[in-house]
Structure 1
Amino acid sequence: MTAPAHARTSADLIRAEEPVLAHNYHPLPVVVARAEGAWVEDVEGRRYLDMLAGYSALNFGHRHPALIQAAHDQLDRLTLTSRAFHNDRLAEFAERLAALTGLDMVLPMNTGAEAVESGIKVARKWAYDVKGVPDGQATIVVAADNFHGRTTTIVSFSTDETARAGFGPFTPGFRIVPYNDLAALEEAVDETTAAVLIEPIQGEAGVIIPDEGYLTGVRELTRRKGCLFIADEIQSGLGRTGRTLAVEHESVVPDVLLLGKALGGGIVPVSAVVARREVMGVLGPGEHGSTFGGNPLAAAVGTAVVGLLETGEFQRRADELGLVLSEGLEALRGHGVSGFRARGLWAGVDVDPALGTGREISERLMREGILVKDTHGSTIRLAPPLTVTADELRSALGTLEKVLGQAG
């Protein structure tokens, strides 16, 4: 007989997954059972500081009281209607999210990849109906080393062979240019271009921050060339970088904004495409949809998330604590850290390869009670909840220093 989950050890549960779960992830060997704020606890009761925050899905920490209360209240009333009917939570969610982002209309979806796919569809429809691109010829320009999701269309314009290999044939209609290269972008955009789709900061690539002026240049170029600027802020948005949106660091407003992850408050999957009215207005009934998109539970939680951001508190915390994070990493430069890139509470940290791979460093940190995630090579990502304290950050950085010292 299989033992109940609460009576099984981490090793038992990890072994139990092997024959029944698809092997599309290689998680760290920790089995989380409980969480609160910036901390998680495994099945044996060991506590860890969560310095990943669900790839920014947990910007407000685990089980934020206001978000949990919003979910509880809605669970007692209504959870799903489908979009076949109106529900009493959706209008407020859309209105407040549009106001928060400075745009006009909202298309609610569920996952980040759905938001990207929906944004692509909206851009192509706009290109045919408004710009006058001949049917079937619309192109979208993207950046190399991007990460926008894992659907077949999205991996069609990925440059990560792990994400692509074995999943063709690939969807046409995309042009790939180097990130942070306005000259290459200028050359790639032509009369068929529906949109330029980029991440204001490339998260999966290692928190790659473009040069000052790049986002402004993308905005100017897309206006001049008559195509849309789509900003994928699924990881970078909603307070993570010290602003509501990462594009705000250059005072840029895109035509289309893609949101997800933190929009669901770590409770339910919520994503959205937010756009100018003349762009989103190209969609008509039956042309796109989602059974769960905009459901009352998601709208209630999403509205509570927007409420937290409307105060500006979390943006200020990320900005102020980001200085603690950057100063701590700077102190480690040359002491196991060969370089880093940070904005707000988000950093890509390059560890001296002689000290280990990113995976090995992550495992060593885990054994010391700190959870992070590696990315390419010897790079690890730090993205703690915006509820983390300065003392917790300093403690995590001290543990990183210890781990690197031991590796040397």
Structure 2
Amino acid sequence: MTTFIIIGAAILLIAILLIGLLATRRGKGPTPSSSTDVITTPPETGPGQVDTTTVEAPPGAEEVPVVERPERTASRLVRLRQRLAGSQGGLGRSLLSLLSRDRLDEDTWESIEDVLITADVGVAPTQELVERLRTRLRVEGTAAGDPKAVLREELVALVEPTMDRRLQVSGEDGAPGVVLVVGVNGAGKTTTVGKIARILVAEDRSVVLGAADTFRAAAVDQLATWGERVGVDVVRGPEGSDPASVAFEAVRTAVQTSADTVLVDTAGRLQNKQGLMDELGKVKRVIEKQAPVTEVLLVLDATTGQNGLIQARVFSEVVDVTGIVLTKLDGSAKGGIVVQVQRELGVPVKLVGLGEGPDDLAPFSAEAFVDALLG
């Protein structure tokens, strides 16, 4: 009997201890795991206050990429004027300073020619511009008007404002518009494709990107990142695969999904004209089995000057270039390349790159360009 009493007392004591231990842990609350992902919830507090509420992410949950909303054309044009005024303003100031002299003698006109040629305007366009300025300012005298207004009119005419600078990004009969983007590696070709995609997305167009520069894995990955940021499909193949097959799949995807536009990034690695012609020719032929190519954009680095013109000649002989994209124009004081490359190829500059930001690509405007030159 005594033995049963002792055992019962021991069991009762153990039960009391367990109840006390559980009560203590319940008061302290759960201990968070150090491996749990934490996602900050949107603030729901008043203005100026910060909400620090957090929720636990479910184990194994993938982070959903945030799709960006690119800038529309109007804000890009504002930045076009600002950036060009900073980089090209020296050209306009030099010309205005010379034209504002009391006496426009031969030395002054020679200085004006030197300024224009140094800015990569080209010899023939420079001579044409100087001749028109001489006629209006020296022959007509005060009847010609303010030197700045005269210079503006003649520069706008030199940049040829009547050229059609619209991007042909729409197809016919329900087919998508197909834009081939060509140029040497290093000119900013892949980045330009991504930035054009942002312009089209801002205009509420559906886009498919074709990563046909298959010999550069970095270019394919870069284009995939651009596509992810604005929520567009990117068609890619294994490294070193046939660029034409990737381009074909990109267009087929666009046809199947009823996308508005396909942008195809092509390889620029080839060093001889025959090889370049063969590859770009094959890409274009394969694409046109499904839809016509509506635009061929040549990307040129504005800072390369005469080298850029040499590249332009080669590509114009290889493929039917319909428009030019000048990158890094804000980093060059030689904005005259706009005039020279248009004269060289007979096609318009349609887009200009103004910096490294994702929306630093703007439609080219002759008037805005000249206004930026003249401040």
TM over 0.5: no
Q: When the two structures are superposed, what TM-score results if normalisation uses the length of structure 1?
A: 0.31
Report which of the two has the higher share of strand: 1
**Which one has the largest radius of gyration?**
2
Report which of the two has the higher share of helix: 2
